[in-house]
Structure 1
Amino acid sequence: MKKVAQLITLAFAFCFQVYAQKHNVVIEGRFVGYDGNGKVGYSLGAVAGAFASNMITPDSLGNFVITANVKKTEFFRILYSDNNRYHLVELIVRPNNRYSFISEGIEIIDGTWWGYPNSPDIYSLQSGQSDGMMFNKLDKGQIYYNLIDNESHGILSYQDEWGLKQPDVLLDSLDEKINRQLIPLNELLASGEIDSEFYEICKLNVQYKYAERLATAIRSAFWHHKFKINDSIISKQLTHIYPKVFEKYPVNAETIGLIDNMIEYTDMYLEFLEDYKDGVYIYKKRKGNKAFKDVYAKSTQLLPGKVNKHFQQYHMVCNAANLGTVTKAHIEKYLADNDDMKDSYANQLIEDILLPRVEEYERLEYMEMPPECLFLDGDSIDSFTQLSQLLKGKPLLIDCWGTWCIPCRAQFNHIDSLKQLIKEKGITMVYIAYEYSDNGQLWESIIKAKGLEGYHFIANDKFKEDLKRISANNLSFPTFIIIDSEGRILENRAALASDGNKLVKQIEQLIQ
């Protein structure tokens, strides 16, 4: 009854009949706990999980109404989060329908929300069987659609989900997981609560979501130091199974637009096509933005027009936001080539916020380096022993990072909290860049922009090998290393700067 009472209080500012004069779809919703600040991004179109292209401002109670003209089945997605809760609602939208939802959201715990089952209460306006009266009925199909990929995410979760050391059963396990999740959908189809089109869309989403989870788990076993499988027989079996996942669930024009948020799976699929030659798959480790450029360019030939636009838009936003390989000229060309999307929220974000940011970074090329940022000749430093000798026996706090590594650059926002302790302990800060391509100008621009006081150099091949040695071949990025004044490595995997007081305590204990 509480939900029904809340539903009645949704923003019914205009009745459905008035809206229907100009629009054939009404979506009304409430975000419980909305703080009254800010706009909310949403998308409604032919591509499922599309980037938010429109904005709406709910009222003070979190209520809003969206109206639209829909000629065939489309996909709605709305996302909102504040410091306490995360809301995500998705709908399969048909013409001549009204949808209502109440989202209580997911509590954000320790900065994360993944892994907490959640679905909003979703209602659709339906007519009675005998009297023709219209009423709101709980829409089990839409609720289930929101639960399809509502499990723990991330490589660690996927690794726990699949028994990779038994490769022979992986494809059977994939089928079993898919069939198990289709059981409630089959029941809804049999009872008439959903139709065949709705069922097929949900079925595709179930199939591809589990395919993505399995492919991610297998791929991580090829490269991730925590999950790499050293058994050569099992590893070889996985290289045979990995292609079969994509052969069974390919990215194509018939299905891609119907599947919610296919970006990550499409990324893996494009890489797979690049590395699968003459019926043989050989994993190629890629690092750095440039390494992926040619791979993603193939999306133009692989993906249908609208879906490719969404895919390219997503990568343009991410690349510009992360200050990757895109330049001002590259962004301007993208905007000119996609003039039909100029009014979308994402393209406005690119033009109004990200383009000026890229321009600012390009201007840094002509600015002087702050005097506190000192540079060493990386070509002549082959080991940590040489580095310690060069810096005259000072204790060192080393930050190993790369211009291609977004989590590495996020650490720079926390360095200021260490400055006083570094000064008190007489510690020298050293930033070592581990690069895969010539990113010298971006490297310098990031140092300037962040004002990274200390010594800097780009590791040469010999230093990279020494870095792998001291990390016991478990090198990951970012990595912080603590070295004493005699050149002894006290901690080869120290806490990160973002780990609050953990790194401070380690420094205090190790550097006397």
Structure 2
Amino acid sequence: MKLFQLILVLLLPFFAVCQTKKDNIKIIGKIAGKIPETIEYTLPINGIEYFGFTNSIQPDSAGNFEINVYSSKACFIDLSNSYKSFGTVIVEPEMTYNISINTESPENKFRVASKNEKGQALYNQIKTRNMITGDGHFESETKKYKNDSISSEAKQKIEYQRELEIAGFQQLLKDKTISKDFYNLVKSDRDYFYKGMQGSLAFINYLISAQKNNSLSPTEYKKLWEGIFETNPVTNLNLLSSPWFYFYVENYLRYNELIIDAIDRSTLTEFNKQGLIHTHNIDYAKKHLSGLQLEYYFAAYIYYEAINNNYEKELITLFEQFKKEYSSSSYTHFLEPVIIPIIAFHKKQAEPLNEKIKFITNTTTFNSVKDALKTLNGKQYYVDIWATWCGPCKEEFKDNAKLYELLKSKNMTMVYVSIDKDNREKQWLEMIHFYNLEGFHIRANEKLDADLRQLYGSQSMGIPWHFLTDENGNIIKKRLSGPSEIENLEKQLNEN
């Protein structure tokens, strides 16, 4: 997961209502090391914890902060900054937690002092505790089992891993170190996470079956997939408390769509071409979800797709639809900040294109980087390899003003090479306009793409990738910093 730098400093009407009640959960924090401008924390609306639905608080100059929230039941609250998790607190009504955060020490960086602190410490050792810990989505975890050819064996291995993880909490419960509510919350979350892994393994085998690369046969992966929703249905209200609710339900909808209803993937591709894939996905969700679960999924879907910064206009329509269908929803305030940039993106398209943006024509004749650059102005070239679907690539664009000033002082030319396929040409043109990317632009054909991967040294080329060439397109420096590390980049260019 990836990934982002959005800070939501919004006081929700829902939250304001809660303040008239007793603030029955208190988190008192102390930060050592570099003090961030804000601490974001997930708000337990109806006991739900989702990485995007957050409030923020500003630590004082000494690193002290205090969070007061209301929840009638045990729930997770994750503390983070710019989508980087510090740690998770499992909170229960009428309790106080003292949090220590060390932003510079890799060890003991997050500690919860409370009567259940052993349980807090054990839970925070779990790398897959939520989406933004960076270590464990369903898909990344299932790589361990990709070569299993019998679903029962894969299931057994995953179940064994789950049991090992739960065993420590079972002992803490037995010792009365944690409460039954604490244990049940963790157990439910871990149960659903590992069932989600099984569903992901089945889905991956389904996807690669078209290339006959699947380890599990269709019979095996269908059996594995079907079984998880029998034992752990999406209708179980305990699932709502898990940070993995959204992704588990997403897997459930995939199963129904691709296996039960057998919707052809070409149909979904056509929805995508028409700019209607998100509308289709929400309409399909409405067939299988209802009530609070549908409201939560609908809101989480819009948020998750919006922060990918693909700026689909369709999401604006869906947001308006959500507001109409859930006029008093507590989630609306979380969605507004991520929809505003999409509105701005499409408004920008009506403005004239910056004359410093240059598109290179006849790119079909380019077989290599040298071919592409020899047609330009005969200077040294700072080359940015990117794609419209690459979040980190777009994050770098925020610091482009400093980059252009530096390149001008060095008499170097800016060149952007996109590895987007033909079906994303429209998005490519729109994003160049929106981010105001001054310089020369090339969208790589297959041969140029292959040459880039050979120069990079791997078929799984990592982007953004920045390098420097001479006037003839020969690479002088193969790895350079991006504009977000402008001081380091300047040192690298001075060494040239």
Instruction: Normalising by structure 2, report the TM-score.
Output: 0.70
Between 138-147 and 327-336, the greater mean CA deviation after superposition:
138-147
Q: How far is 1:176 from its partner?
A: 2.0
Change (3 A) 1:122 1:144: farther
Q: How far is 1:273 from its partner?
A: 5.4
SS at match of 1:105: strand
After superposition, the C-alpha distances for 1:358-395 in whole angstroms (9 at most, x for unaligned) are: 33222211211112111223664543354233225544
After superposition, the C-alpha distances for 1:37-93 in whole angstroms (9 at most, x for unaligned) are: 76855423435314536677889952344456x4xx4635253549999353232x4
Instruction: Normalising by structure 1, report the TM-score.
Output: 0.68
2:53 corresponds to which residue?
Answer: 52
Whether the 8 Å CA contact 1:84–1:108 is kept in 2: the answer is no
SS at match of 1:315: helix
Change (3 A) 1:494 1:367: same
SS at match of 1:206: helix
1:253 corresponds to which residue?
Answer: 235
Between 354-363 and 32-41, the greater mean CA deviation after superposition:
32-41
2:438 corresponds to which residue?
Answer: 453
Change (3 A) 1:78 1:271: same
Change (3 A) 1:24 1:63: closer
Quick one: distance in 1 between partners of 2:446 and 2:24?
A: 60
Gapped regions of structure 1 (runs ≥ 5): 1-21, 124-137
Selected match of 1:100 from 96, 100, 107: 96
After superposition, the C-alpha distances for 1:449-504 in whole angstroms (9 at most, x for unaligned) are: 43322012434455445545555533343233444322335566655444566655
**CA RMSD between the two structures:** 4.9
Structure 2 counterpart of 1:26, one-letter code: N
Change (3 A) 1:208 1:505: farther
Whether the 8 Å CA contact 1:373–1:454 is kept in 2: the answer is yes
Whether the 8 Å CA contact 1:116–1:150 is kept in 2: the answer is no
1:383 corresponds to which residue?
Answer: 367
Selected match of 1:187 from 171, 180, 184: 171
User: Structure 1 residue 162 and structure 2 residue 144: aligned?
Assistant: yes
Quick one: distance in 2 between partners of 1:205 and 1:335?
A: 29
SS at match of 1:348: helix
SS at match of 2:311: coil
Q: How far is 1:104 from its partner?
A: 0.9
Between 434-443 and 34-43, the greater mean CA deviation after superposition:
34-43
Q: How far is 1:252 from its partner?
A: 1.5
Gapped regions of structure 2 (runs ≥ 5): 1-19
1:120 corresponds to which residue?
Answer: 112
User: Structure 1 residue 357 and structure 2 residue 358: aligned?
Assistant: no
**Mapping 1:356-505, distance limit 5 Å:** 356-377=340-361, 380-384=364-368, 385-391=370-376, 393-420=378-405, 422-423=407-408, 425-436=410-421, 442-460=427-445, 463-468=448-453, 470-471=455-456, 472-489=458-475, 496-498=482-484
Identity rate, percent: 18
User: Structure 1 residue 314 and structure 2 residue 310: aligned?
Assistant: no
Whether the 8 Å CA contact 1:29–1:65 is kept in 2: the answer is yes
Whether the 8 Å CA contact 2:354–2:436 is kept in 1: the answer is yes
Structure 2 counterpart of 1:120, one-letter code: V
After superposition, the C-alpha distances for 1:120-172 in whole angstroms (9 at most, x for unaligned) are: 2234xxxxxxxxxxxxxx47666655655567743699579937567676443
Change (3 A) 1:246 1:336: same
Structure 1 counterpart of 2:96, one-letter code: S
User: Structure 1 residue 334 and structure 2 residue 322: aligned?
Assistant: yes
After superposition, the C-alpha distances for 1:260-310 in whole angstroms (9 at most, x for unaligned) are: 33334444554565555899999x999x99696345653333445323322
Q: How far is 1:217 from its partner?
A: 8.7
Selected match of 1:63 from 63, 66, 73: 66
After superposition, the C-alpha distances for 1:376-415 in whole angstroms (9 at most, x for unaligned) are: 2366454335423322554433222222221111121344
Whether the 8 Å CA contact 2:198–2:225 is kept in 1: the answer is no
Whether the 8 Å CA contact 1:215–1:245 is kept in 2: the answer is yes
Quick one: distance in 2 between partners of 1:37 and 1:394?
A: 41
